[in-house]
Amino acid sequence: SNPIEDISRVKSTELFEQAKNYFPGGVNSPVRAFKSVYGSPLFIERGDKAHVWDADGNEFIDFCCSWGPLILGHNNDQVREAVIKQLPNGLSFGAPTQLENKLADLILSNNRFIEKIRFVSSGTEAVMSAIRLARGVTKRDKIIKFEGCYHGHSDSLLVKAGSGLVTFGETSSAGVPKAFADETIVIALDDETALTKAFEDFQGQVAAVIIEGVPANNGLLLQDKSYIQFLRKITKENGTLLIFDEVITGFRLGFEGAANYYDVQPDIITYGKIIGGGMPVGAYGASNEIMSNISPDGAVYQAGTLSGNPIAMAAGIAALTQLAQPGFYEKQEEKTDAFVTEIRNFIAENNFEVKIFSISSIFWFAFTELDAIKKADDIIPASMENYKIMHRELLNRGIYFGPSGYEVGFISAAHTKEDLTKAIASIKEALVEVFKN
């Protein structure tokens, strides 16, 4: 195939140079900085349905979807109208509103796994609060997390984490007191022996085990159902709470997320991303009994000036109402299966050393010969060089993937057959470029 020219980044580059004067690394969240892919970050001007346009006027089909929230695509009619309708009534009160009740009712009446919920403003906050709740309930300090799982940037959880940390090759953060990190036990995924040993080594000390519904911040690490069921069993036996971090999987694997997928009842579930329809919302939920420990009912304190923000609630209600319609998820899955299957067939025909893994409407390209990747260690960092080439080739063909090979792609309800057909053709061409030599 003919070499394709790089897209123009004149305006984006200029804006990025400006931004460097204002923000560390020129960004307000690290992985946006395009540090592990070619070129400077694209400054996005607007999005509509599955498409985004950057400051240079380049148009892309978007598979990043704001890292997951936009399961309905950009500028969804109902979400936009709900926000516009709410705007003249005020932006924030710091007092209860009916909208909070409405969103909570929509969630709780369609979810068998939690009885009460508390809204916060980000996934980080949701998980941080869930960990505090687990510690408060069990009166224990230690937590177990899994290598590669990312749970936001609170202190206890920035140990051997995925997302931007693995992308930049420093999987733990500076600035986390050793005393905090010592309370976080990190083990590999998919390893029942390691889990059993951790419970033996720290008997009676583990407040919670936290796992991503489906680990999706260090590649897509699909776990066996039997392993998750074992995790449920061993936590129960040890009086340890099981936390499902469903910030990505919540309302993505279905309205009841990964809990339903595995048929496992976690003790606490955290949500983010989709729950706010693109606005900043997170949440955590559990049984009435566990949630009764939260202030003002109980002794575990957690609060937020902007929690339950009316505009964010209005967006969340409008989004989740659409997701709750019968057949919504089946349609997303069918679409994704067809997309993934066509690419998988192409890869097989060409004998390329790359796999595409997927679940629900999430997908991930892994440059590997392995047929399954279940833990962080199975990913060869050098394989990210291939992602880097693929990412550039895709941008040049009008396809926007997240700027890290450790991050997953998302298909939204707004991706049309035409969008997906064009994306498949571009992905095929990009893979040919990757494996040219």
Alpha carbon of 59 to those of 11, 14, 390: distances in Å?
14, 18, 18
**Residues between 368 and 427 that touch ligand PMP (CB under 6 A):** none
Question: Closer to ligand PMP at the Cβ: 149 or 347?
Answer: 149
Structure tokens belonging to residue 265: 């009842």
Question: Closer to ligand PMP at the Cβ: 99 or 165?
Answer: 165
22 is catalytic: no
122 near ligand PMP, rule: CB under 6 A: yes
Number of residues that bind ligand PMP (CB under 6 A): 15
Contact (Cβ atoms closer than 8 angstroms) between residue 215 and residue 262: no
- Which of 54, 100, 190, 245 lies at the binding interface for ligand PMP (CB under 6 A)? 245
d(CA 267, CA 225): 17
Catalytic residue among 145, 150, 160, 419: 150
- Which of 65, 107, 117, 127 lies at the binding interface for ligand PMP (CB under 6 A)? 127
66 near ligand PMP, rule: CB under 6 A: no
Contact (Cβ atoms closer than 8 angstroms) between residue 17 and residue 365: no
> How many CB atoms are closer than 10 A to CB 359?
21
217 near ligand PMP, rule: CB under 6 A: yes
**Residues between 262 and 291 that touch ligand PMP (CB under 6 A):** 272
> How many CB atoms are closer than 10 A to CB 88?
6
Q: What is the DSSP string of 98-109?
A: HHHHHHHHHHHT
89-95 contacts, C-beta under 8 A, 24 or more apart = 89/310, 90/310, 91/309, 91/310, 91/311, 92/305, 92/306, 92/309, 92/310, 93/310, 94/305
245 is catalytic: yes
Query: How near is the Cβ of 98 to ligand PMP at its closest, in Å?
Result: 25
Q: Alpha carbon 339 to chain centroid distance?
A: 20
Catalytic residue among 273, 335, 355, 374: 273
Query: How near is the Cβ of 63 to ligand PMP at its closest, in Å?
Result: 16
Catalytic residue among 54, 62, 245, 267: 245
Indicate the residue whose CB is closest to ligand PMP: 123
219 near ligand PMP, rule: CB under 6 A: no
Question: Closer to ligand PMP at the Cβ: 270 or 332?
Answer: 270
- Residue of 427, 222, 224 whose CA lies nearest to 341: 427
| DSSP-based three-state secondary structure for 385 | helix
86 near ligand PMP, rule: CB under 6 A: no
Question: Closer to ligand PMP at the Cβ: 122 or 361?
Answer: 122
335 is catalytic: no
152 near ligand PMP, rule: CB under 6 A: yes
Structure tokens belonging to residue 91: 């932006």
Chain positions contacting ligand PMP, by CB under 6 A: 67, 122-124, 127, 150-152, 163, 212, 217, 245, 247-248, 272
**Residues with catalytic function:** 150, 245, 273
